[in-house]
Structure 1
Amino acid sequence: MRKYRWVRRPLPDPSAVATLMAAARYLPEPLARVLVARGITTVEAARAFFRPELDQLHDPFLMADMEAAARRLARAIEDREQVLVYGDYDVDGTTATALVTSFLKERGVPVRYFVPDRFRHGYGLTQKALEEALEAGTRLLIALDCGITAAEEAAYARARGVDLIICDHHTAGATLPEAVAVLDPKRPDCPYPFPELSGCAVAFKLVQATLQVLGESPEAAYRYLDLVALSTAADIVPLTGENRILMAEGLRHLRRSTRPGLQQLAARARWPLETLTMHGIVFGLAPRINAAGRLGDANRAVALLLAEDAATADKLAAELDAANRERQQIDRRTLEEAIVQAERQITARDDRHALVLYHPDWHLGVIGIVASRIVERFYRPTILLCAVDSILKGSARSIAGINIYEALRDCEDLLLQFGGHTYAAGLALEENRLEAFRERFNEAVGARMTPELLVPRLEIDALLDLHTLDERFWRLLQRFGPHGPENEEPLFMARDLEVVGEPKLVGGEGKHLKFYVRQRAHPDDPPCEVIGFGKERLLPAVQHSRRMGQPLALAFTLQENTWQGQTRLQLRLRDLKLQRVETPVGQ
């Protein structure tokens, strides 16, 4: 049974809680604490947070090389040059490819797009892919969501007489590729104020800047915000600053999108566009777009996003939906095999800080997904590897507090290549180095590991008295969205609760825990419904609390639940504890 450490999220300036409460007409202390915990300590910052608007976006020309990139792209538009748009095969890369391709097509530019095959070409900007993609007459190549470390490939393009613009958001190497422009807000020398944009958002910035060079309004780029929202949600970038603005506005564009591809994909996924949320993107649309590249040709995803009629869009959406179902079946088989390996490795030695799992026949397109699930289950940094043309290729996923990119860098001499960021990375190595790499990687993670990091944390935003919940509180809480990394749904803690009625397990397989609670100090209040998805293991504790009268403490988020035409607030359970007088909750 997984245990969690409950910790109160630290406040950078505790006095700011009272300041915000005094300045606002209605701001309960728990919500003021949520703001301050997110670094929002002034009234002006709170106003900007509650009203994310497009005029708060930064000037794209603050990004290093943007002037050169925009002028070169503007010249290609004016001279109707032949352009190749080269993207990555995930949601971020395919949305960026669709965005730039749409922009150029609308201006009469002879543009083609190309997304490499993860099996034939490998990841990113590769010479093998360029040899296939570049045609005679191509004058400009725009690499999207890749290319920041592609020095040799940039030289190859230059030798072919092709100008190169790189739009990336991954960590740069020691030297930058030689190109007309290298756009990447993570470049060490880039002064752009917000470094956490998705690759598609960097492409959006390039389009905005190019419009200005052409003498047009940069607001014309807003029509592509539906694509930016897809990428921002799917690529798990921090949902703060500009990303939160782009996500909020992008969701509005998505909900009224006229793109036939998105309409048909949403219909296949059974996530209506008009009510689409972050959750709908992450669990409905994104897996189907990603499936195109995981189990075949990712160019299908771009074609879907560019489709101009419903019939074409429906055919492509059906293909992606079928690919996603196949991907899910492969996921399940791979996960079962990976769990067996993981348990064996953990049992074999006490100092197993990280898991490196390998099967030659695992599918390259799903090992990243399965690595994430192994991390959820065993809570250790995990790498899954498979064999591709006698080379081991893999995906790495990490836990909070362990930078997996840095751990891989400690093993650089054993790897053919690697790249990524704090929590996710890709790598390749020769099979005869597998055991040496497994040991070195375990040591690299172990050097960064502490006992506390092996126990997942629940960061509590604020203590909440259920007696104070009302419609105004809920309306204000909704304005904290959209939620995502670094702006998660506020996690509350309620103490001194009594269980009302009989707790029960619900759902098809009885895996969801449902019960009712109320604050013991307010026995006349109506009870609050609690739902714990996949929390059947906690049923005995709830039954014990009810039987023995021992108070409960809950960690939960708040959500609306509509059933049979009635909507009510519901506590979505993350964890619970039986309270003990001698030990404060969360210690």
Structure 2
Amino acid sequence: MTYRWILRSVDDPNVISDLQKELNGLPEALARALALRNVSSFDEARHFFRADREALHDPFLMQDMEAAADRVAEAIESDDPVLVYGDYDVDGTTASALMADFLRSQGVDAHVFIPDRYEDGYGLGSRGLDRAREIGATLVIALDCGITAMEEAAYARELGLDLIICDHHTPKATLPEAVAILDPKRDDCEYPFKELSGCGVGFKLVQATLDRLGQPADDAFRYLDLLAVSTASDIVPLYGENRVLMAEGLRVLQEKDEVRPGLRAMAQTADLDLADVTSTGKIVFTIGPRINAAGRMAQADLAVDLMLAPDVETALPMARELETLNRERREINDRIEKEAIELAERQITSRTPHGLVLYNPEWHLGIIGIVASSVVEHFHKPAILLARNGAEVKGSARSISGVNVYDALSDCEDVLTQFGGHDYAAGMSLPEDQVDAFRDAFDEAVGKRITAEMLTPAIKVDASMPLDVVGEHRGRFWAVLKQFGPHGPANATPVFHSGNLVLDGKPRTVGRGGNHLKFRVREADSDSRQSYDVIGFGMGNKLDVVRESYDSGEPIELLYSVEENTWNGRTTLQLKCRDVRLESSERVLQKESA
């Protein structure tokens, strides 16, 4: 795939030189990367690099928090049963485990209800509310769902149930009627940070309730391991509070004795050393999929029960069951992905769509969201996968940068029975006889929002610099750079650009099927002769480019991030290739539009 190389724009270039001075001659490339993360002074840099729990906001700044904390405290003091109602994904199940664990630690008879993806669908539903009534609960706490549940909230009132909604999705103009609605995205909510996960909102409620009970609010930090799993897996922006919670949570996950038994058992069955969980990637690609497998392939209650297990011995059988479900999920995923790509290719050939809507009634409903992401990556177009669920069709949407898929679905509202989500991911349901009409409506909606430039994926570059900067300042470059983490949306791993590079040795492909690219580079005109290993995962198709450079001596340009690599007990810096091209290429490093 061909990429546009875009040098990110700094609002005030003077900030770069100011940061260099204030931070004792910090390399310009790192000062620029800091400026791009809204760091403009020594104090802001200190906060960025040393953010800790003191940087978290008062939970009572959130709209309705006083009413919510008072009602939960009342339930604790009255010893009434409480129903915890959570979504079936990682965010919802971790939030449910967090809230149930907290309530049980306070002596509450807390029950958990997770909707069935097929029987109940997404969000707050009547079956869970009926369950609350059956157990004698007077309070339902909905987590990671409920912000658009008007009818369900009304039904809860009919049953005599108090409802607290803890959500982080975008509300509509009218909110459900409930005792309290905690959602930082509410227009009338003045909470300073808007991007908490659903589990994060639940965490804030726990903090506030502890305060109401006269207990230390810091007791809520025992749930940092769950918060880290939620924050990483739900792909929420990693700045502000999320970055603090993620960093603190990673530290907890690395301390085996502080991690709850269920997560330890899951790591054991996945052959994951928790001490190696130093970034969000290990969570996103190892822990998250296994928790999600329960809701995708069976019942998400299994994941909640695992996270609430009192000891590793109890947790291990459940962790092994999740491992089996995850293997089955991968096999089904591979089959559906192959079918979806073939279907997309036919659709592109026949109609050249702006967005892809792919329907197969037999596809597994729990897998289509993952495959939709793969289709977007393959074709670089917004994509929706649809599957039949009983009498209706349900789908998962994923999008590309610049196209808000939630807004696009809003244009299709007349053919949908329900929809909701974020800028880049959403879900919907519709009658089967409206699939063709929906395909046309979605294509038109995307067409109004997409530009020709968006159709060529871009790699955003933090700074252009000589390669030798990586090794300058006696290792200070890496000492500072590694403190930029943890990385994720809104705090991506910095990407650098270097040109005038020549190969130091013959390039090769490695891995199964030669899928990965490996070579070594140095600056052509440098006196240092310092060279660096480069690894390009999934970039074996770029071998011809670097081989031509090696054979002809023509320099290359490289986009890369810097990381540590440990091999045979020796740790060195290596460059993780994002893209590579010959310097003779007519393509240039473009400047980001203002």
Name the TM-score, length of structure 1 as normaliser: 0.98
**2:326 matches 1:330:** no
2:193 aligned partner: 194
Deviation at 1:523, TM superposition (A): 5.4
* Pairing 1:410-429 to 2, within 5 Å after superposition: 410-429=411-430
Q: For 1:114 and 1:583, how far apart are their aligned partners in 2?
A: 54
1:290 aligned partner: 292
**2:361 matches 1:357:** no
1:501 aligned partner: 505
1:343 aligned partner: 345
Match of 1:573 among 561, 577, 583: 577
1:473 aligned partner: 477
2:229 aligned partner: 230
Deviation at 1:571, TM superposition (A): 0.5
- Partner SS state of residue 387, structure 1: strand
Return closer, same or farther for 1:142/1:44 CA change in 2, 3 Å cut-off: same
- Partner SS state of residue 506, structure 2: strand
2:32 aligned partner: 33
Return closer, same or farther for 1:581/1:338 CA change in 2, 3 Å cut-off: closer
**2:120 matches 1:121:** yes
**2:297 matches 1:305:** no
Deviation at 1:270, TM superposition (A): 1.9
Return closer, same or farther for 1:46/1:314 CA change in 2, 3 Å cut-off: same
Match of 1:316 among 312, 315, 318: 318
Q: For 1:223 and 1:233, how far apart are their aligned partners in 2?
A: 18
Q: Deviations over 1:257-285 (max 9, x none)?
A: 34111111011122211221311101110
Q: Is the 8 A contact 2:388 2:394 kept in 1?
A: yes
Name the TM-score, length of structure 2 as normaliser: 0.97
Q: For 2:391 and 2:399, how far apart are their aligned partners in 1?
A: 26
- Partner SS state of residue 302, structure 2: helix
- Partner SS state of residue 93, structure 1: helix
Computed over aligned residues only, the root mean square deviation of the Cα atoms, in angstroms, reads 1.2
Deviates more, 1:130-139 or 1:380-389: 130-139
Q: For 2:134 and 2:467, how far apart are their aligned partners in 1?
A: 65
Q: For 2:130 and 2:386, how far apart are their aligned partners in 1?
A: 27
Deviates more, 1:406-415 or 1:207-216: 207-216
Q: Is the 8 A contact 1:579 1:585 kept in 2?
A: no
Return closer, same or farther for 1:177/1:583 CA change in 2, 3 Å cut-off: closer
1:516 aligned partner: 520
Q: Is the 8 A contact 2:225 2:260 kept in 1?
A: no
* Pairing 1:97-496 to 2, within 5 Å after superposition: 97-256=96-255, 257-276=258-277, 277-350=279-352, 352-470=353-471, 471-496=475-500
Deviation at 1:41, TM superposition (A): 1.4
Q: Is the 8 A contact 1:12 1:39 kept in 2?
A: no
1:535 aligned partner: 539
Listed as ranges, the gaps of 5+ residues in structure 1 are none
2:567 aligned partner: 563
Q: For 1:347 and 1:429, how far apart are their aligned partners in 2?
A: 26
Q: Percent identity?
A: 55
Name the amino acid aligned to 1:459. K
**2:552 matches 1:553:** no
Q: For 2:586 and 2:181, how far apart are their aligned partners in 1?
A: 59
Name the amino acid aligned to 2:358. L
Q: For 1:543 and 1:447, how far apart are their aligned partners in 2?
A: 42
Q: Is the 8 A contact 1:34 1:490 kept in 2?
A: yes
Q: Is the 8 A contact 2:468 2:530 kept in 1?
A: no
Q: Is the 8 A contact 1:197 1:242 kept in 2?
A: yes
Q: How many residues align?
A: 585
Deviation at 1:466, TM superposition (A): 1.8
Deviation at 1:582, TM superposition (A): 7.2
- Partner SS state of residue 504, structure 2: strand
**Structure 1 ranges of 4+ moved more than 3 A:** 581-587
2:88 aligned partner: 89
Q: Is the 8 A contact 2:199 2:227 kept in 1?
A: yes
Q: Deviations over 1:412-451 (max 9, x none)?
A: 0100000001000000001111111101100000000100
Name the amino acid aligned to 2:455. L
- Partner SS state of residue 360, structure 1: coil
Return closer, same or farther for 1:312/1:462 CA change in 2, 3 Å cut-off: same
Q: For 2:568 and 2:264, how far apart are their aligned partners in 1?
A: 27
Deviation at 1:524, TM superposition (A): 4.6
Q: For 1:382 and 1:52, how far apart are their aligned partners in 2?
A: 37
Q: For 2:547 and 2:185, how far apart are their aligned partners in 1?
A: 51
- Partner SS state of residue 363, structure 2: coil
1:68 aligned partner: 67
Q: For 1:427 and 1:80, how far apart are their aligned partners in 2?
A: 39
Q: For 2:292 and 2:585, how far apart are their aligned partners in 1?
A: 50
Deviation at 1:183, TM superposition (A): 0.3
Deviation at 1:4, TM superposition (A): 0.4
Deviation at 1:583, TM superposition (A): 6.3
Q: Deviations over 1:371-408 (max 9, x none)?
A: 00000000000000000112010000000000000000
Q: For 1:232 and 1:247, how far apart are their aligned partners in 2?
A: 7
Name the amino acid aligned to 1:140. L
Q: Deviations over 1:58-116 (max 9, x none)?
A: 11011000000000001111111110000000110001001011111011111111111
Q: Is the 8 A contact 2:355 2:381 kept in 1?
A: yes
Q: Is the 8 A contact 1:391 1:430 kept in 2?
A: yes
Q: Is the 8 A contact 1:167 1:199 kept in 2?
A: yes
- Partner SS state of residue 107, structure 2: coil
Name the amino acid aligned to 1:553. E
Q: Deviations over 1:538-570 (max 9, x none)?
A: 111101111122110000111111111111111
Q: Is the 8 A contact 2:252 2:259 kept in 1?
A: no
Name the amino acid aligned to 1:517. V
Q: Is the 8 A contact 1:556 1:573 kept in 2?
A: yes
1:15 aligned partner: 14
- Partner SS state of residue 453, structure 1: helix
Deviation at 1:585, TM superposition (A): 4.2
- Partner SS state of residue 354, structure 2: coil
